[in-house]
Amino acid sequence: MYRIMIIEDEFALADAIKRQIEGWGNEACLVKDFQNVMQKFTEFDPHLILIDIMLPFYNGYYWCTEIRKVSSVPVIFISSASDNMNIVMAINMGGDDFIAKPFDLNVLNAKIQAILRRTYDLAGKVPILEQNGAILNLNDMTLSYEEEKLELTNYEMIVLDLDGTLTNRDKVVTPRTKAALMKAQERGKKVVLASGRPTQGVMPLAKELRLDEYSGYILSFNGGRIINCKTGETVFARSLPVSANKKIIGLAEEHQVDIATYEGSRIISSNPESPYGKLESRINGMELWKPEDMKEYVNFEVPKFLMMEDGDYLAMVEPKVKAAMGKNFSIYRSDPFFLEVLPKGIDKAQSLERLLEVLGLTKEQMIACGDGYNDLTMIKYAGLGVAMENAVLPVRSAADYITASNNDDGVGLVVEKFMLA
């Protein structure tokens, strides 16, 4: 049974609407004190509101604006002022639909049922609590009082980039950061390691933080793989089409840059002597291996290719590779000297959206910390996007909060402030 609030000063019409709603098994409430609509709203906690534009004291636009400060409950305007200007105004002020008077009650009921079905069959109710003028919205975890609005989000998951974020300049997790993350996991918080690294390159840090014991997750290859550390299950995986491999390798040859991809526990490289390839090998603890003919050898699905060269030169190559590969691939630099080629739709944000769905969490319950270009999408997506002090400018600009650098316990400070306080 749904609760529907009717804000209409034409009482004969309001009574008729109330009877129609109750005839369909729902509960209806008529507002009669048009100076204290918000008080009635918090008491009744409706699933949907019907509101006229022309009302005593304050018009419907005013009350819709006040409601929107604390709730996303559906609002349908019902009014004889049905010119285009008023319809546009009603929607712009937060309304979800507009029904012009006079109307057939059966049509009104059909619209009500459609909005209720779309809203609550998928999303559930919108709980609102009120005490002495303070309004707590449990749906978006905000507390409102007069003109002030405070976010109270309970963060249940933290997503961490590795290099330049979780680990310091020596590629280790500082004691303070490790202690904070362990304490958060003991309280039931989820830790996700999200990296452009291959899965094997993330595993040592996952083991150090005991993600296998606390049901943490690894998001590797910039989102191309999601692994449940406790069960070893692959929650999500997407690879490049085999048919694209020769073209990608050919582009690297054409533009005279080194290229690498991954097979099991080794990195397949066109040039094992590349300093950037050696860096990738050292960071991930994986052997570098050069096949006799890379184009012919890589005839299987791979999660991504990595083009490697000096940053200034790679910046000129990037748009040419994008133009050649077209719109069905994701191509971007994760570091100045790394140009990644992945399947379309693979980035950290889109993969995290899939993981949140599996866990039954919302993005508002997630903190994401990062420093590099490939962290930008998840920083924008998260309920709290955190940039390290050492982050590149676009990440710092997009972040909700800037913490200390990776060398100064930046992640640990975030966990202490937002998850353990």
Asked whether the predicted pLDDT for residue 405 surpasses 80, the reply is yes
> Can you tell me the mean pLDDT for 363-387?
93
What's the pLDDT score for residue 85? 82
Share of residues in the chain with pLDDT > 90 (%): 62
Asked whether the predicted pLDDT for residue 188 surpasses 80, the reply is yes
> Can you tell me the mean pLDDT for 221-238?
93
Distance of CA 237 to the CA centre of its chain: 19
Bridge-partner residues for 219, per DSSP?
A: 194, 226
Residues 6 and 26: their CA atoms lie apart, in Å, by 13
C-alpha closest to that of 25 among 47, 42, 9: 47
What's the pLDDT score for residue 91? 85
Q: How would DSSP label each residue in 331-379?
A: EEEEETTEEEEEETT-SHHHHHHHHHHHHT--GGGEEEEE-SGGGHHHH
Distance of CA 375 to the CA centre of its chain: 12
The strand order across the sheet containing 142-145 reads: 128-131, 134-137, 142-145, 148-151
- Using one digit for the tens of pLDDT, what is the confidence trace for 274-290? 999 999 999 899 999 99
Share of residues in the chain with pLDDT > 70 (%): 95
What's the pLDDT score for residue 292? 94
Using pLDDT thresholds of 50, 70 and 90, give the confidence band for residue 205.
very high
CB 271 within 8 A of CB 307: no
> Can you tell me the mean pLDDT for 389-405?
90
> Can you tell me the mean pLDDT for 326-345?
88
- Using one digit for the tens of pLDDT, what is the confidence trace for 406-416? 999 999 999 99
For 213, the enclosing helix (H) or strand (E) is none
The boundaries of every CATH 3.40.50.1000 domain in the chain are: 157-238+346-418
In degrees, rounded to 5, the angle at the alpha carbon of residue 366 between the alpha carbons of residues 361 and 370 is 145
What residue type is assigned to position 343 of the chain? P
Residues 157-238+346-418: name the CATH superfamily: HAD superfamily/HAD-like (3.40.50.1000)
Integer angstrom CA distances of residue 376 from 3, 67, 161, 238: 41, 33, 11, 21
Distance in Å from the first CA to the final CA of the chain: 39
Asked whether the predicted pLDDT for residue 255 surpasses 60, the reply is yes
For 309, the enclosing helix (H) or strand (E) is none
Alpha helices in 124-244, H assignment, sequence order: 175-186, 199-208
Q: Assign a CATH topology to domain 3-150.
A: Rossmann fold (3.40.50)
Integer angstrom CA distances of residue 164 from 104, 117, 184, 230, 263: 63, 46, 21, 26, 26
CB 224 within 8 A of CB 238: yes
The boundaries of every CATH 3.30.1240.10 domain in the chain are: 242-343
- Using one digit for the tens of pLDDT, what is the confidence trace for 352-370? 999 999 999 999 899 999 9
Per CATH, the number for 242-343 is: 3.30.1240.10
> Does the predicted model carry a pTM greater than 0.95?
no
* 417 or 297, which is more confident: 297
The token pair that represents 380 in the structure block? 């924008």
CB 27 within 8 A of CB 1: yes
The boundaries of every CATH 3.40.50.2300 domain in the chain are: 3-150
Any residues with CB less than 8 A from the CB of 283 and at least 6 apart, and which? 163, 171, 197, 201
HSE toward the beta carbon, residue 97, CA cutoff 13 A: 18
Place of tokens 């304490």: 183
CB 358 within 8 A of CB 217: no
Residues 144 and 136: their CA atoms lie apart, in Å, by 7
Residues 274 and 217: their CA atoms lie apart, in Å, by 31
What's the pLDDT score for residue 139? 53
Mean pLDDT of the chain: 89
- Using one digit for the tens of pLDDT, what is the confidence trace for 91-136? 888 888 999 988 888 888 888 888 887 776 544 444 566 677 777 6
List Cβ<8 Å contacts ≥24 apart for 22-26.
24/109, 24/113, 25/1, 26/1, 26/2
Place of tokens 């204290």: 36
